[in-house]
Structure 1
Amino acid sequence: MATNISDHSVLNNGVKMPWLGLGVWKAKDGEEVTGAVRSAIESGYRSIDTAAVYGNEVGVGEGIRQAGIDRDQLFITTKVWNADQGYDSTLKAFDESVKRLGIETLDLYLIHWPVKGKYVETWRALEKLYRDGYVRAIGVSNFHTHHLEDLRQNSEIIPAVNQVEFHPLLTQKELLAYCQENGIQMEAWSPLMQGNLDHPLLVELGQKYGKSPAQIIIRWDLEKKVVTIPKSITPARIAQNADVFDFSLSAEDVEKINALNANKRFGADPDNFNF
Structure 2
Amino acid sequence: MTRIPDIGLGTFRLQGQQAYDAVANGLVAGYRHIDTAQIYANEAEVGAALAASGIPREQVFVTTKVWTEHLRAGALVDSIKESLRKLRLEQLDLALIHWPSPGDEVPLDESMQALLQARELGLTRAIGVSNFTIAHLRTAIAAVGAPNIATNQIELHPFLQNRAAAGFTREAGIRVTAYMPLAVGKAVAHPVIQGIAQRLQATPAQVTLAWLLARGHVVIPSSTRREHLEQNLAATRVQLAPADLAAIDALDAGERIATPEFAPRWD
User: TM-score, structure 2 length as denominator?
Assistant: 0.93
Match of 2:122 among 133, 154, 176: 133
Identity %: 34
Residue among 201, 209, 234 paired with 2:225: 234
Matched, 1:124 2:113: yes
Matches within 5 A, 1:186-197: 186-196=176-186, 197=188
Change (3 A) 1:257 1:85: same
Aligned to 2:55: 69
Sort the Cα spacing of 1:156 and 1:117 in 2 relative to 1 into closer, same or farther, 3 A. Answer: farther
Q: 2:177 touches 2:219 (CA, 8 Å); kept in 1?
A: yes
2-structure distance, mates of 1:28, 1:247: 31
1:26 match: 13
Deviation, 1:46, is 0.3
Q: Partners in 2 of 1:154 and 1:71 — Cα distance? A: 31
Residues 71-91 of structure 1 deviation map (CA, whole Å, 9 limit, x = unaligned): 000100001101121111111
Structure 2 distance, partners of 1:259, 1:148, is 27
Deviation at 1:260, TM superposition (A): 0.5
Q: Aligned equivalents of 1:255 and 1:66: distance in 2?
A: 43
Q: CA RMSD in A?
A: 1.4
**Matched residue, 2:198:** 207
Compared CA separation, residues 155 and 40, structure 1 to 2 (3 A):
same
Show the counterpart of 2:210.
219
The answer on 1:82 being equivalent to 2:71 is no
1:19 alignment partner, SS class? coil
Give ranges in structure 2 of 5+ residues lacking alignment: none
CA deviation vs aligned residue, 1:237-259 (integer Å, no higher than 9, x gap): 11111121332001111111011
Q: Tell me if the contact between 2:96 and 2:128 (Cα under 8 Å) persists in the aligned partners.
A: yes
Q: For 1:63 and 1:18, locate their aligned partners in 2 and report how far apart those are by CA, in whole Å.
A: 19
Q: Which deviates the most, 17-26 or 157-166?
A: 157-166
Cα distance in 1 for residues equivalent to 2:212 and 2:89:
30
Deviation at 1:132, TM superposition (A): 2.1
Q: Show the counterpart of 2:253.
A: 262
Question: Is the Cα–Cα contact under 8 Å of residues 152 and 176 in structure 2 kept in the other structure?
Answer: yes
Q: Which shifted more, 238-247 or 56-65?
A: 238-247
Question: How far apart are 1:159 and its partner, in Å?
Answer: 1.4
TM-score normalised by structure 1 residue count: 0.90
| Residues 88-122 of structure 1: CA deviation (Å, up to 9, x unaligned) | 11111111100000000100000000111323311
Q: Distance in 2 between matches of 1:67 and 1:61?
A: 10
Q: CA 1:246–1:154 in 2, change beyond 3 Å: closer, same or farther?
A: closer
Whether the 8 Å contact between 2:196 and 2:207 is mirrored in structure 1 is yes
Q: Judge conservation of contact 2:81–2:123 (CA < 8 Å) in 1.
A: no
Shift of 1:153: 2.3
> Whole-Å Cα distance in 2 between the matches of residues 246 and 111 of structure 1?
32
